[in-house]
A and B are shown apart, each in its own frame.
Chain A
């Protein structure tokens, strides 16, 4: 069946079963690369996107529940040509190794900064505690978020 979603400010209609997890629609129908399949059980955060500004695990969100929400993925923040301060900060801090977790980290960070423009370091770590990183890039990620926060709300 056809379901219309609002993704990164655009209305998009997709043909998929209502119980399809949002992640597969984002990745495969809309060809948005950022959100990743990590566990399919909302345990790792690699698939994190924003639903009405709140971080959600798209691997367990059924499509039918998303029709009335505004979905934002990392692609909705900015682009290479016009990067969001978070994207610039992650490049400046070189805050990635393999980078597979990074899109999820950045979306959790975006939700945090929207609600709390001047987070403390413990607040940043707490907000990202549900996002797993295996390369050990955690501290760079925190530094990148601090840098972005400074740029967004000096």
Chain B
């Protein structure tokens, strides 16, 4: 706890200061004079968090503190936001302190997900800081006796032509930023950026490579106990009996927390908590039910037969040339795991009926609301403070473990509890990415143009996050003596979409129909896994584009370009083709092949095209992806190296999903428990990745953290088809499937 955090103060001191701070700013405008209906629209997250001092504090010592409701997940967002703040305010990056994701201190920006942070928090901070700078200049103008237009700012010091000067700290009073944002001050053009657009080093990395206190796992509070949860052997099992007394006699055990079928233990030492949890598990008797759907191939027939809410998400009936050829194909994607390297963890402390939780949740505010529901207490009595965790890649166990820790700490009589899941807790209980079945039909005319396209998909919801529903979306709440129910399933609507994310092709087809068969029942717990439905939809559509190109006898790159009208879409495809040295209509040689995949993420965010090379061992069926190329356009680039890291990581993660990953289960139990059951790509197996960025300073920054996974799976699948002449339409592309496709 004494390791410096890289910015000159120790973590402990930082925590002490944080705890001592009172809420000296306003998170919402006062009602006086601000009738909701009259409030003008403000950009990004300013719309819902309208006061400038909710975003920014100018400190007397010349530093500035910026507040964001978004949180660091290892994607580098806090650094990117600091770059924006420094540029708009004209202060050095080192002067900017960032406070993120704390229900007692920061704006409520919901969940950090969907590659939306720069569009929401980045835009809000950009406008708030631009306006703050203008306010400070106006104040300086009066004080220095010079017109505001004659002033310039150097690292937080306002300079007048006559040589007089004032620092931001000197110009600021409590009242300076206590006002509603107007967003009338135009942020700087890209040409005036000093930090935005540069590969600034990430703020979180130094602590991570030196053993600093970087994660919630590293938080140690006085008197803290260690907790472990004892989950049922299978979903919806009920606890019939357990020998709590024997467990309480084990060394170090302080409390056994039981509430209905929720069971956890707190002990003085971590290994004691693990041993006591094992003892409880051994003595526990459960009533289990066979609640899981069919597995393997049968799952997808099952999905197609479930009661569905059918929504036509796109329909076009323009005039088109006559059809000469029609293709049909079906694609599947199994349940897949987030599979964080570090199991989920939280620290909870009860004091005087109030609860403080430290969590790596993606949404501290929504989590607070859900904890309030689960614990039947007012949200105002709960503080959720974000601390980093292991990368989550969507909605994993992060929120659930916070309730586990709170329930465990409540039984432990005031002492804080750090509760971490074990490996099998994470694999068996995290919500998975939804399985999907997709059926496509496409027709081409005599020139080889697509004249008709139909996409039907079947999928459960892709988001059961806290804070979004009519139920309680925290695992333990469903197992309490008075069980609460999970929220009803809903699909994230278009244009972003959930299961139907990227189900509408960006290609221009005259006649088109896209139908989402949304399945409200979810026998397997599912939620947001990075990209939601986009991974499978892009896999299907881009595989099918190659099939249609083949039917038309046209090269896949050329075929895509001729169906696109958006110049930015064409540009990434042309760029990646040039970068990889794409050769038109190059056949595979039976073993080696090359494929391309493209998408504009959500049809709203970054454009990414990927080319992958594969090597297929026809005897074993094993696929290797030695190399991938990517071209990406995310508008104005804030941090090129950070963007490259995200694109590269997304491609490697997608390669792992694509070649290996699938959750296994029987009628009752989840069978995936460890890395032995769920192998992911290793250091010796990952592709090299060459990323080219297209910077568009005149365009707004759009999300990119989830933009490369879809194009990557499509490029690999197309490369395998190119190599072997056989197309595999079911994920993952396992050796068995490769072999059976050849026969």
Interface residue ranges, A against B (CB under 8 Å): 16-17, 20-21, 24, 27-28, 31-34, 36-41, 43-44, 46, 73-75, 78-81, 83, 87, 90-91, 94, 96-103, 106, 122, 124-126, 128-142
Contact = CB atoms under 8 A, between A and B. Distances in A.
B674 A43 contact: yes
Contacts of B251: 17
Contacts of A124: 683
A16 B340 CA distance: 29
B214 interface: yes
Given A97-B75, A97-B645, A80 B420 contact: no
Contacts of B76: 97
Contacts of A79: 3, 210
B328 to A, nearest CB: 34
A108 to B, nearest CB: 9
A101 B342 CA distance: 8
B213 A33 contact: yes
A38 B683 contact: no
A32 B645 CA distance: 28
Given A37-B217, A138-B652, A32 B211 contact: yes
B683 A136 contact: no
Contacts of B73: 98
A63 B220 CA distance: 22
B271 A134 contact: no
Contacts of A135: 74, 391, 649, 653
A43 B427 CA distance: 14
Contact of A99 (B208, B271, B680): B208
B74 A136 contact: no
B209 A134 contact: no
A140 B645 contact: yes
A122 B684 CA distance: 7
B75 A128 contact: no
A96 B682 contact: no
B158 interface: no
B420 to A, nearest CB: 6
Contacts, number: 186
B202 A94 contact: yes
Shortest beta-carbon contacts, A-B, top 7: A98-B74, A136-B652, A98-B391, A136-B649, A99-B208, A34-B211, A100-B390
11 contacts: A24-B270, A33-B212, A33-B214, A38-B341, A90-B209, A94-B201, A97-B391, A132-B675, A133-B341, A134-B339, A141-B683
Given A134-B680, A135-B391, A91 B205 contact: yes
Interface of B: 1, 3-4, 6, 73-76, 199, 201-202, 204-215, 217-218, 220, 226, 251, 269-271, 274, 339-343, 388-391, 393, 420, 422-423, 641-642, 645-646, 648-653, 656, 674-676, 680, 682-684, 686, 688-689
A107 to B, nearest CB: 11
Contacts of B339: 134
Contacts of A27: 217, 270
Given A41-B674, A100-B390, A134 B422 contact: no
User: Which one of A20, A122, A126, A142 has the greatest number of beta carbons of chain B within 10 Å?
Assistant: A20
Contacts of B6: 80
B684 A91 contact: no
Nearest to B646: A97
Contacts of A83: 209-210
B648 A136 contact: yes
Contact of A129 (B1, B420, B682): B682
B122 to A, nearest CB: 19
B391 A78 contact: no
| B contacts with A: majority SS | loop
Nearest to B6: A80
A38 B205 contact: no
A100 B689 contact: no
Nearest to B204: A99
Nearest to B339: A134
Nearest to B641: A94
A136 to B, nearest CB: 3
Contacts of B269: 16, 20, 24, 28
A34 B217 CA distance: 10
B506 to A, nearest CB: 25
Nearest to B202: A94
Contacts of B389: 98, 100
Contacts of A134: 339-341, 390-391, 393, 653, 680
A73 to B, nearest CB: 7
B680 A40 contact: no
Contacts of B675: 39, 41, 43-44, 132
A110 to B, nearest CB: 12
A124 B686 CA distance: 13
Nearest to A126: B684
Given A46-B342, A138-B683, A36 B217 contact: yes
A136 B205 CA distance: 16
A43 B74 CA distance: 22
A32 B2 CA distance: 10
Nearest to A78: B210
A134 to B, nearest CB: 5
A96 B682 CA distance: 16
A79 B341 CA distance: 24
A83 B209 CA distance: 9
B77 to A, nearest CB: 11
A126 B393 CA distance: 26
Contacts of A129: 682-684
A50 to B, nearest CB: 14
A90 B220 CA distance: 26
Contacts of A73: 211
A16 B653 CA distance: 39
Q: Which among B206, B393, B641 has the highest number of chain A CB atoms within 10 Å?
A: B206
A78 B341 CA distance: 24
Contacts of A28: 220, 226, 269-270
A137 B209 CA distance: 14
Contact of A37 (B342, B646, B680): B342
Given A80-B3, A96-B74, A125 B205 contact: no
A74 B682 contact: no
B80 to A, nearest CB: 13
Given A103-B208, A134-B390, A137-B645, 5 more contacts: A16-B271, A80-B212, A83-B210, A94-B645, A97-B75
A138 B656 CA distance: 12
Contacts of A139: 648, 652, 686, 688-689
- In this complex, the member of A17, A46, A78 whose beta carbon has the largest number of chain B beta carbons within 10 angstroms is A17
Nearest to A100: B390
B420 A37 contact: yes
Contacts of B207: 80
A99 B208 CA distance: 6
Nearest to A15: B269
Contacts of A46: 341-342
B701 to A, nearest CB: 19
Contacts of A122: 684
B211 A103 contact: yes
B205 A100 contact: no
B211 A137 contact: no
A87 B210 contact: yes
B401 to A, nearest CB: 13
A75 B211 contact: yes
A34 B393 CA distance: 22
Contact of B210 (A21, A43, A80, A140): A80
Contact of B214 (A38, A39, A41, A99): A99
